[in-house]
Amino acid sequence: MIDEPVGGRAASEGNGGVLLEAEGLARHYASRGPWGAERITAAVEDVSLRILRGETLALVGESGCGKSTTARLLMGLEPPTSGTVRYRGRDLGSMSRTELLEFRRRVQLVFQDPFGSLNPRMTVGGMLGEVLSVHALAAGEERGRRITELLGLVGLGPEAAERYPHEFSGGQRQRIGIARALAVEPDVIVADEPVSALDVSIQAQVLNLLADLQERLGLSYLFIAHDLAVVRQVADRVAVMYAGRIVEASDADTLYHQPLHPYTRSLLAAVPRPRPPSEKPRATELREGADPPKRATGCAYFGRCRHPARDEECSLALPLLEERSPGRWVRCIKT
């Protein structure tokens, strides 16, 4: 396990403190093989990170790497196999029922699917009003005013309260999901692929909305995505995940201009960009399908890595996540 969570000493200076923190987080699932033998799958392994007040930490990686599982662990929706999650310094595992209710209010989730996450049988006003009632935040006329205020925050008119989810576009439904998260006045919003199901033109609107809300309300975001082009627009810091582990983390500008880990470089090389006809295609460092997602020993990325110094040592030694410079972490013995 690393000595300090990603974004520790250097990242927390002058940022108003740590809100949500994970240390040594792991989640293993047991299953039965074809002959009845038990198999253990490590979906998340040794993840440590911090989310600071008023910042956006992006967690990126390809599908199946453990991003959403990490989000569920941070939200307390699943128990970790090992490790701890702390909110404002308090371990979730030691919180009382009352404290957990307050935690649920202060850390909210925006889902990937803007339609499946909304109740089709309830009006928008009914959904928002239910949240306010459960947390005893508003009642009567005050509840109606609060619903109108929330809809206005996300760019929807008061008439939207009387309509059902199927009457809205995908972008509007995602705005409703954001309004529902804002209803309880959270400190942290965990946004799990919030724009991946939307058209590109709508993505920009939702990203601009999230940035505007962060500035106005002082929100912190954990922004989960697989698209580095999207992440570049919103993130202060970026943590790259592969096969359940964080392999690189730093501030966004440094990671985009000077990536260290071969996997990060391959992700950046895969981002589409316009190029003049005279420009040669970019070389990619990704070997597709060269290895299974998990390895028994050594670096999980060994089979796909094209680092010039890659050798047998990489297949034997599990690299540690090390801080190479203040706030700059990488899991590679060759960089």
How long is the chain? Answer: 335
The pTM of the full predicted model, rounded to 2 decimals, is: 0.87
Which pLDDT score is estimated for 279?
58
pLDDT tens digits, 169-196: 999 999 999 999 999 999 999 999 998 8
**Structural domain boundaries in the chain:** 9-120+164-273+282-330
Q: What are phi and psi of 64, to 5 degrees?
A: 85, 5
pLDDT tens digits, 102-153: 999 999 999 888 888 899 999 999 999 999 998 889 888 899 999 999 999 9
Q: What are phi and psi of 237, to 5 degrees?
A: -130, 155
The string of DSSP codes covering 189-210 is EEEESTTTTS-HHHHHHHHHHH
Q: Confirm if 58 and 223 have CB atoms less than 8 A apart.
A: yes
The alpha-carbon radius of gyration of the chain (Å, integer) is 21
Q: Which helix (DSSP H) or strand (DSSP E) does residue 27 occupy? A: strand 18-32
Q: Confirm if 122 and 167 have CB atoms less than 8 A apart.
A: no
Name the CATH topology of 9-120+164-273+282-330.
Answer: Rossmann fold (3.40.50)
| pLDDT surpassing 90 at residue 35 | no
* Ranges of H-type helices in the chain: 9-12, 67-74, 97-106, 124-134, 140-153, 170-182, 200-217, 228-234, 252-257, 262-269, 312-316
On the CB side of 59, CA atoms within 13 Å amount to 32
Which pLDDT score is estimated for 11?
42
Q: Which residues contact 158 (CB under 8 A, 6 or more apart)?
A: 147, 148, 151, 152
Query: Strands 237-242 and 245-251, how do they pair?
Result: antiparallel
Handedness of CA 303, 308, 311, 315 (dihedral sign): negative
- Residue 260 token pair: 């260290």
Q: Confirm if 333 and 317 have CB atoms less than 8 A apart.
A: yes
| pLDDT surpassing 70 at residue 293 | no
* Least confident segment among 242-246, 257-261, 274-278: 274-278
Q: Confirm if 175 and 153 have CB atoms less than 8 A apart.
A: no
| pLDDT surpassing 70 at residue 83 | yes
Site of tokens 């008061």: 158
d(CA 106, CA 53): 12
Q: Confirm if 123 and 164 have CB atoms less than 8 A apart.
A: yes
